[in-house]
């Protein structure tokens, strides 16, 4: 009995340190809780939402594929960019748009930098140029076949350097990649274009 009562007593000289550890533990715990609550509040205020991209229209002009598989053409796309965020606006610092046919890059352009306000829809006109592109024989054969059918399927890719802005705060630059696939374009302008939804990877 006597022994037990001795061991439950704090060893002499140690109580102050034990108290110190407890204060440090409480202090660290409070900091974790405060940071956690702050992150939650910021998240709740900003409520980041994924951007929405669709291709609303597309057309082909000046198409010319020669016998030796060289392609000249322009591909025009109307790209709808929607920022659903109520607090975050977006700086687009550079935008590259390319079109692929059967995984072969055939046309390219860059777009002007722009700023997109909150809850904003912006329509981007992208006129992609294929100038004297040398194509592998198999691809030019498929292109010829599709031309005679009256429509081709392209993958449209966007690569943009963007920054989010919330009030005075600006995020780092990050690269946003967008793929819209397949975009079916009719050679005849009388055919209706079917809107294509895009996938976004930030
Ligand atoms: C296509 O280009 C070739 C060589 O530039 C030209 O001879 C031909 O007339 C063009 N075809 C059309 C339909 O524009
Ligand atoms: C979207 O923002 C642009 C400016 O970047 C503005 O010209 C356009 O009118 C805005 N559109 C809507 C629907 O608010
Ligand atoms: C494509 O355009 C280039 C210059 O713009 C021209 O030299 C070439 O002949 C054209 N090729 C075709 C197939 O039209």
pTM above 0.85, yes or no: no
Q: Is the pLDDT of residue 130 over 70?
A: yes
- Answer whether 95's CB lies under 8 Å from 113's CB: yes
Q: What is the mean pLDDT of residues 121-137?
A: 96
For residues 31 and 86, give the distance between their C-alpha atoms in angstroms, rounded to a whole number: 30
Residue 64 Cα to ligand 1 middle (Å): 6
Vertex 22, ends 18 and 23: CA angle to 5°? 120
What is the distance in A from the centroid of ligand 3 to the CA of 58? Answer: 22
Q: Would the pLDDT of 87 be above 70?
A: yes
pLDDT at residue number 43: 77
Residue showing tokens 């705060």: 169
pLDDT of residue 96 exceeding 70: yes
Ligand 1 atom 2: residue of nearest CA: 64
Given the CA of residue 65, which atom of ligand 1 is nearest to it? Answer: 1
Collapsing DSSP states into helix, strand and coil, what is residue 88?
coil
Element (H, E) at 144: helix 137-149
Per-residue pLDDT for 93 more than 50? yes
How far is residue 86 from each of residues 51, 89, 160, 173, 187, measured CA to CA in Å?
Answer: 12, 8, 21, 20, 39
What pLDDT is recorded for position 109? 97
Q: Is 117 in the pocket of ligand 2 (CB under 6 A)?
A: yes
Minimum-distance ligand to the CA of 73? 3
Q: Tens of pLDDT along 171-182? A: 899 999 999 999
Among 38-47, 66-75, 157-166, the minimum mean pLDDT is found in: 38-47
Quote the mean pLDDT of the chain: 90
pLDDT per residue over 134-167, tens digit each? 999 999 999 999 999 999 999 999 999 999 998 8
pLDDT at residue 156, as a whole number: 98
Helix (H) or strand (E) holding 56: strand 52-65
Q: How far is CA 49 from CA 21, 46, 80, 200, in A?
A: 42, 9, 16, 12
Measuring from atom 1 of ligand 1, which residue has the nearest CA? 64
Mean pLDDT is lowest, of 14-18, 72-76, 82-86, for 14-18
Judge contact between 117 and 90, C-beta under 8 A. Answer: no
- Provide, rounded to the nearest whole percent, the portion of the chain with pLDDT above 90: 76
pLDDT bucket at 12, cuts 50 / 70 / 90: low
Query: Token match 């606006």: residue?
Result: 89
pLDDT of residue 2: 46
1: pLDDT strictly greater than 60: no
């Amino acid at each position: 009995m006597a022994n037990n009562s001795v061991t439950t007593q704090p060893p002499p000289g140690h109580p102050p340190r034990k108290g110190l550890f407890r204060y440090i533990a409480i202090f660290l715990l409070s900091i974790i809780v405060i940071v956690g609550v702050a992150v939650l509040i910021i998240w709740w205020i900003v409520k980041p939402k994924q951007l929405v991209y669709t291709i609303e229209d597309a057309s082909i002009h000046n198409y010319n594929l020669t016998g030796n598989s060289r392609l000249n053409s322009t591909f025009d796309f109307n790209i709808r960019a929607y920022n659903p965020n109520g607090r975050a606006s977006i700086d687009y610092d550079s935008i590259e748009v390319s079109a692929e046919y059967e995984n072969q890059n055939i046309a390219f352009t860059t777009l002007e930098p722009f700023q997109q306000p909150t809850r904003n829809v912006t329509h981007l006109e992208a006129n992609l140029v294929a100038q004297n592109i040398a194509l592998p024989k198999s691809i030019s054969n498929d292109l010829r076949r599709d031309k005679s059918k009256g429509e081709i399927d392209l993958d449209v890719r966007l690569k943009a350097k963007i920054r989010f802005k919330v009030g005075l705060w600006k995020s780092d630059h990050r690269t946003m990649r967008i793929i819209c696939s397949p975009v079916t374009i009719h050679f005849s302008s009388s055919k209706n274009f079917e809107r294509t939804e895009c996938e976004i990877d930030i």
